[in-house]
Chain A
Amino acid sequence: MSQDIILKIDRIDVFHGTFQALWEVSVEVRRGEMLALIGANTAGKSTLLDTISGLLHPASGSIQFENHDISSADPYRIVELGITQVPEGRGIFPEMTVLANLEIGSYTKRARANCAKNLKKVYKLFPRLEERKKQIAKTLSGGEQQMLVIGRGLMSEPRIMLIDEMSLGLAPIIINEIFRTLKTVRESGITIMFVEQNVRKSIQESDRAYILENGRVVLCGTSAELCEEDKVKKAYFGI
């Protein structure tokens, strides 16, 4: 694997039962980049993230993460290796406190030793979480819940963070605030791959992007390249 590429998804086919959701999908994720995954609701973006996380397994093709073949690995193993997903719909543990949610993020053996240290870092990134640390998670606002699950993801000391539909139901101000925080996260060396509904925002905030349509990769490139693509212009910007 080239030193630049941290995650290599090679021509995977993924099925939900008998329905094929992904067709020969290949994606390369480069170390330290901010990668966007764009596409309509049924394009297969969440399926791809769930497959990387081990919740689903490809019927063919392979997934390599830093020289480990994780194609058939269990989800907990993949977290241990260094890929953490912040799922669609946030995925808080609703009846647990903010602090308990964050602490469970350090569940893996690797992260447990640094729980206190990482907690400080997360509080620094999201001071609001420290203010509300004794509050029950389900009583937080949407934006605060999103911060909580990103913070929780960071507690697991990931090398790659996958974020699924972060901005659903959030006000633009909050979305921008979170993206700014993600930039800081990136500067600490974590690679981020995110799925976003807002195409313009996705291309704006990412270095590179993949566009999925009906379970296939139809376009990929840097933000600059994609902005030039007629297809993107027509379909998403209405030009």
Chain B
Amino acid sequence: MHGDILTPLVMGILLGGLYALIALGLSMIFGVMRLINLAHGDLVVLGSYLSYALLSYFGLDPILGLIITIPVLFGLGFFIQQFLLKRAFAISAEAPLIIAFGIALIIQNGVQIGFSPLLRGITTSYSMASFNLGSLQFPVSYLLDFIVALIVMLAFREFFTRTYMGRAITAASQNKKAAQLMGINTKMIYGFAFGLAMISAAIAGTFMGMTFPFTPVSGTQFLIIAFGVVIIGGLGSLLGTFLGGLILGLVQTLTAYYFGSATQMLFVYLAVLIVLAIRPQGLFGR
């Protein structure tokens, strides 16, 4: 039986990568704009439905479909920030949260009208396949998720540390006035940052959709996962998000292995509570 622990171990790590990818956008927006984007989970699901639609109606492979879903979600994110949230920030500290909540509702109901409440899944030739590691078998989709998560996080890290735009976003999140005084157009920067978070949501949604079935209300689940990841890993830290995801994934699969799959989410929430109690800013939080 001992050899079997390798299965949940590997699955937990692979799953953790996907969880980190889902949480990435939430972590970023909080890090840059101090906003808890309650619509984040639903925006990820929107990415899932967009990929699904491109596959169903045009037969477009979801990975290729990213060429369309990424710009669409980037534009949507930019629009949400520039035309809705920016005004909300000027009204009060709570207004953006309410707007985000409203956006979540609109998306949920929108996709329900468009796609019905039925369970959907993005199925391709490879999404159902499995691969072998020695004598064990794993779903290809899980591996794909992990690799993509790694690529996206590394890409984001390079962007934030090496490009002027990325550094400008980082600077603006640390001292907005000083950033303005350095010639950074903070009016545009936040829109761009939100758009970036949406790019990660588009990718997360697409791969999530290939791994698990989803419905219009899956967004809430995703949001809870994202919250769990950032609470454990700490908001605003790329490394923290990645490790938080891994921990969450491992807790889920290992407890399912030892205690049965009915209890896995219970232990995940327990883990989140423990971290909140001992180190509320998360393992790597600021």
Nearest B residue to A81 by beta-carbon distance? B183
Q: Are B174 and A94 neighbours in the complex by a CB distance under 8 Å?
A: yes
User: Chain A's nearest CB lies how many Å from the CB of B57?
Assistant: 43
Given A104-B168, A112-B164: A95 and B174 interface contact (C-beta under 8 Å): yes
Which listed residue, B180, B187, B286, touches A95 by the CB 8 Å rule? B286
Rounded to whole angstroms, the CA-CA distance of A53 and B184 in the bound complex is 13
Q: List 11 A-B residue pairs with CB atoms under 8 Å apart, sorted by A's residue number.
A: A53-B181, A55-B177, A76-B183, A84-B181, A91-B178, A104-B179, A105-B182, A107-B164, A112-B164, A149-B178, A152-B182
A44 close to B (CB within 8 Å): no
Given A55-B180, A79-B181, A91-B181: A103 and B175 interface contact (C-beta under 8 Å): no
Q: Are B185 and A87 neighbours in the complex by a CB distance under 8 Å?
A: no
Rounded to whole angstroms, the CA-CA distance of A111 and B184 in the bound complex is 13
* 0/1 string, A107-132, CB within 8 A of B gives 1: 11001100000000000000000000
Given A74-B187, A79-B183, A80-B183: A92 and B178 interface contact (C-beta under 8 Å): yes
Rounded to whole angstroms, the CA-CA distance of A104 and B168 in the bound complex is 7
Nearest A residue to B236 by beta-carbon distance? A95
Q: Are B182 and A107 neighbours in the complex by a CB distance under 8 Å?
A: yes
- A65-99 contacts to B, CB under 8 A, are 74-76, 79-80, 84-87, 91-96
Q: Are B183 and A87 neighbours in the complex by a CB distance under 8 Å?
A: no
Nearest A residue to B165 by beta-carbon distance? A107
B34 close to A (CB within 8 Å): no
B170 close to A (CB within 8 Å): yes
User: Chain B's nearest CB lies how many Å from the CB of A148?
Assistant: 11
Given A93-B170, A103-B167, A107-B168: A75 and B181 interface contact (C-beta under 8 Å): yes
Most buried by A among B171, B186, B187, B286: B171
User: Chain B's nearest CB lies how many Å from the CB of A55?
Assistant: 7
Rounded to whole angstroms, the CA-CA distance of A55 and B286 in the bound complex is 28
Rounded to whole angstroms, the CA-CA distance of A111 and B182 in the bound complex is 11
Residues of B within 8 A of A92 (CB): 175, 178
Given A95-B286, A96-B171, A100-B167: A79 and B182 interface contact (C-beta under 8 Å): yes
Rounded to whole angstroms, the CA-CA distance of A100 and B162 in the bound complex is 10
Question: Which A residues fall within an 8 A CB radius of B?
Answer: 53, 55, 74-76, 79-80, 84-87, 91-96, 100, 103-105, 107-108, 111-112, 149, 152, 156
Rounded to whole angstroms, the CA-CA distance of A94 and B171 in the bound complex is 9
Residues of B within 8 A of A103 (CB): 167
Q: Are B185 and A93 neighbours in the complex by a CB distance under 8 Å?
A: no
Residues of A within 8 A of B168 (CB): 104, 107
Q: Are A75 and B167 neighbours in the complex by a CB distance under 8 Å?
A: no
User: Chain A's nearest CB lies how many Å from the CB of B54?
Assistant: 38
Q: Are A87 and B177 neighbours in the complex by a CB distance under 8 Å?
A: yes
Q: Are A156 and B170 neighbours in the complex by a CB distance under 8 Å?
A: no
Rounded to whole angstroms, the CA-CA distance of A112 and B168 in the bound complex is 13
Q: Are B183 and A156 neighbours in the complex by a CB distance under 8 Å?
A: yes
Rounded to whole angstroms, the CA-CA distance of A76 and B176 in the bound complex is 12
Residues of A within 8 A of B175 (CB): 91-94
Residues of A within 8 A of B177 (CB): 55, 87, 91
Q: Are B184 and A107 neighbours in the complex by a CB distance under 8 Å?
A: yes
Q: Are A75 and B180 neighbours in the complex by a CB distance under 8 Å?
A: yes
Rounded to whole angstroms, the CA-CA distance of A121 and B168 in the bound complex is 23
User: Chain A's nearest CB lies how many Å from the CB of B192?
Assistant: 14
Residues of B within 8 A of A105 (CB): 182
Nearest B residue to A111 by beta-carbon distance? B183
Most buried by A among B168, B181, B186: B181
Rounded to whole angstroms, the CA-CA distance of A80 and B171 in the bound complex is 18
Q: Are A87 and B181 neighbours in the complex by a CB distance under 8 Å?
A: yes
Residues of B within 8 A of A74 (CB): 185, 187
Rounded to whole angstroms, the CA-CA distance of A75 and B182 in the bound complex is 9
Nearest A residue to B167 by beta-carbon distance? A104
Q: Which 3 A-B residue pairs are closest in the complex by CB-CB distance?
A: A79-B183, A91-B178, A108-B183
Nearest B residue to A94 by beta-carbon distance? B174
Given A93-B175, A94-B175: A76 and B164 interface contact (C-beta under 8 Å): no
Nearest B residue to A85 by beta-carbon distance? B181
Given A96-B171, A104-B171, A107-B164: A76 and B178 interface contact (C-beta under 8 Å): no
Residues of B within 8 A of A87 (CB): 177-178, 181
User: Chain A's nearest CB lies how many Å from the CB of B211?
Assistant: 34
Rounded to whole angstroms, the CA-CA distance of A48 and B170 in the bound complex is 28
Nearest A residue to B188 by beta-carbon distance? A76
Residues of A within 8 A of B179 (CB): 93, 104
Nearest A residue to B182 by beta-carbon distance? A107
Given A55-B177, A91-B178, A93-B178: A76 and B185 interface contact (C-beta under 8 Å): yes
User: Chain A's nearest CB lies how many Å from the CB of B253?
Assistant: 34
User: Chain A's nearest CB lies how many Å from the CB of B268?
Assistant: 30
Which listed residue, A55, A95, A156, touches B182 by the CB 8 Å rule? A156
